[in-house]
Structure 1
């Protein structure tokens, strides 16, 4: 894991997050437009079966099942109130270098926690299958 991967750093900027919303199923007349989703820190991460999956690039919280009236910022806060990005009081462009480094450190903590949790889940599933085979 590279601390300052260029692709990851790009997602701090609204315009780059907005570009990921190609094919987003909600547009005009909705609260969860691509613009509002990107402002709330989300990137579009669709799957074949779920075209409306969005993930915060920072805290890695994935949300799906969006409704036209869902407010992305409120949804983000309600599902991940400790996300340092959604609670920022400044624009990214206004951060000092020290503030940005601290923010990036928190993002890496999120990545490590998610990676660890994913590995534990896979291990538990494999152990459950193996146990069933043994029994």
Structure 2
């Protein structure tokens, strides 16, 4: 799972990623180019933004639903996004140029809701991990004391 700070910084620039050209620009270091199903063009068309890290050079994230996928192979298809995130509104949206202002407003509202939901889940997971660590420490402490 990504670092909450990374998710937050991505979210702030992802409002520009409704544009296919902007998404495509993020794939400058994408490892799969020719004779592949997952070319930069196909990945950007599917709503993905390339978000590589030192240890994971093929991580992509949907700018809208924030679903992250990694471990891509040349024969993998970007439509994996639709299978893993069937409710992603980006996948049902018109082209960027056809959106009305109100449609964009509703999409952006949904994108913000997705971000808040993801951050909430991440914070809950961190809290649970902390509780588990404290429980382990307390058990160890009381086992030693008895």
Q: What TM-score comes out, normalization by structure 1 length?
A: 0.91
Q: What TM-score comes out, normalization by structure 2 length?
A: 0.85
Greater than 4 Å deviation, 4+ residue runs: none
Q: Trace 1:1-135 onto structure 2 (pairs within 5 A).
A: 7-72=13-78, 74-88=79-93, 90-135=94-139
Q: Which runs of 5+ in 1 are unaligned?
A: none
Secondary structure in structure 1 of the residue aligned to 2:52: coil
1:45-74 superposed Cα distances (whole Å, 9 cap, x missing partner): 1111111110000000000111111111x2
How many Å separate the matches in 1 of 2:22 and 2:98? 17
How many Å separate the matches in 2 of 1:23 and 1:9? 22
What residue is the counterpart of 2:144 in the other structure? Answer: none
Structure with greater proportional helix content: 2
How many Å separate the matches in 1 of 2:86 and 2:92? 8
How far did 1:9 drift?
2.5
How many Å separate the matches in 2 of 1:79 and 1:26? 21
Residue-pair matches, total:
129
Backbone CA RMSD of aligned residues: 1.2
